[in-house]
């Protein structure tokens, strides 16, 4: 009897998801996967399974990943000092080599492998491949940290059309070929705008944006987010996330969601249920 009840619950859940499955058919969803959100293999396997299911439901996911904890561990191992300014990593000449090795190597391949193990067609690349992302040096004194200025999405469009799931490391070059580290949130926002994405999902290790009293903000428009920035309710690593959200919406992305990637099935809950999870940011 207990198993029958479980089956009824499952059938009811699938039935309720149908309108959302239709809503997102053929939609491009850019997902930024934070390093903290893939801290263990179970989380990563669950995430990969969700993304492959999205692809089976005719959604077109594109993953941009970070890897902060992995980079920190590698820099510590090589005894290279590092710092952050407003949530962005300061990257000197020694650090950029380690950052690229970790992001384009270990982290990217791990995510691709997880997708393929779940039956997907994951394929790894970085902003350097086919000049996907050309950047210039950030105005702030952050070393080899780049700001995207030109995007060539032809390679992504071709991969998506052929049912691949692109997994992008946040590394790019300037016009001369100099390698730059790019904030993964910023890169995800740039890719989502260039691909006319329906949604940008920023997976992190907190439950979303909090107001001045520390309460979760479920929904907000850009004006409300700017007020939270002005009163410093938003700080640290959340600053580049909300700035990415504001820029993405200004450049045509329909909505951005900042959500906790540690929550089981976070992406599916956000896309295919009535209430979703995290903080939804969009125009009124």
Q: How close are the terminal C-alpha atoms of the chain, in Å?
A: 47
The pLDDT score that the predictor gives to residue 23 is 87
pLDDT higher than 80, residue 284: yes
pLDDT tens readout for residues 103-151:
999 999 999 999 999 999 999 999 999 999 999 999 888 999 999 999 9
Beta strands in 86-164 (DSSP E): 88-90, 122-126, 133-137, 146-151
CA-CA distance, 229 to 13, in Å (whole number)? 37
Average pLDDT, whole number, for the chain? 91
Beta strands in the chain (DSSP E): 28-33, 60-65, 83-85, 88-90, 122-126, 133-137, 146-151, 165-169, 171-173, 179-181, 199-204, 219-220, 255-260, 279-281
CA-CA distance, 44 to 97, in Å (whole number)? 25
pLDDT tens readout for residues 14-40:
677 778 888 899 999 999 998 777 777
The pLDDT score that the predictor gives to residue 111 is 96
Backbone angles phi, psi at 146, to 5 degrees: -105, 155
The pLDDT score that the predictor gives to residue 14 is 63
pLDDT tens readout for residues 178-209:
999 999 999 999 999 999 999 999 998 888 99
CA-CA distance, 143 to 155, in Å (whole number)? 29
Short-list 66, 78, 176, 96, CA closest to 131: 176
List C-alpha distances in Å: 176 to 22, 25, 132, 172, 258. Answer: 45, 40, 15, 11, 34
CA-CA distance, 177 to 201, in Å (whole number)? 30
| Strand 179-181 to 219-220 pairing | unpaired
pLDDT higher than 90, residue 232: yes
Pick the CATH number of 26-206+243-281 from 3.40.1160.10, 3.40.50.2020, 3.40.50.300, 3.40.50.80: 3.40.1160.10
Counting Cα atoms < 13 Å in the Cβ hemisphere of 32 gives: 35
The pLDDT score that the predictor gives to residue 274 is 81
Q: Where are the domains of the chain?
A: 26-206+243-281
Q: State the CB neighbour count (10 A cutoff) for residue 239.
A: 16
Cβ contacts of residue 32 below 8 Å, gap of 6+? Answer: 63, 64, 65, 66, 184, 185, 187, 188, 200, 201, 202, 203
pLDDT tens readout for residues 143-176:
999 999 999 999 999 999 999 999 999 999 999 9
The pLDDT score that the predictor gives to residue 1 is 46
Cβ–Cβ < 8 Å for 229, 239: yes
């Amino acid at each position: 009897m207990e198993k029958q009840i479980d089956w009824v619950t499952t059938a009811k859940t699938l039935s309720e998801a149908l309108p959302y499955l239709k809503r997102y058919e053929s939609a491009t969803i850019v997902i930024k996967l934070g390093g903290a959100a893939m801290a263990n293999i179970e989380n990563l396997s669950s995430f990969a399974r969700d993304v492959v299911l999205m692809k089976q439901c005719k959604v077109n996911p594109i993953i941009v990943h970070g890897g902060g904890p992995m980079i920190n561990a590698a820099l510590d191992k090589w005894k290279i000092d590092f710092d952050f300014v407003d949530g962005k990593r300061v990257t000197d000449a020694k650090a950029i080599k380690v950052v690229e090795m970790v992001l384009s190597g270990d982290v990217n391949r791990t995510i691709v492998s997880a997708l393929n193990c779940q039956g997907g067609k994951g394929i790894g690349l970085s902003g350097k491949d086919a000049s996907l992302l050309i950047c210039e040096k950030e105005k702030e004194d952050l070393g080899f940290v780049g700001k995207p200025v030109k995007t060539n999405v032809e390679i992504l469009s071709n991969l998506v059309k052929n049912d691949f799931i692109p997994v992008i490391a946040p590394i790019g070059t300037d016009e001369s070929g100099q390698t730059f580290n790019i904030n993964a949130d910023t890169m995800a926002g740039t890719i989502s705008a260039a691909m006319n994405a329906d949604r940008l999902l920023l997976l992190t290790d907190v439950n979303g944006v909090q107001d001045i009293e520390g309460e979760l903000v479920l929904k907000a428009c850009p004006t409300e987010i700017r007020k939270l920035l002005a009163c410093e309710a938003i700080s640290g690593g959340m600053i580049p996330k909300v700035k990415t959200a504001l820029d993405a919406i200004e450049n045509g992305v329909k909505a951005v969601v900042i959500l906790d990637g540690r929550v089981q099935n976070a992406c599916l809950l956000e896309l295919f249920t009535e209430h979703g999870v995290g903080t939804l940011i969009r125009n009124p």
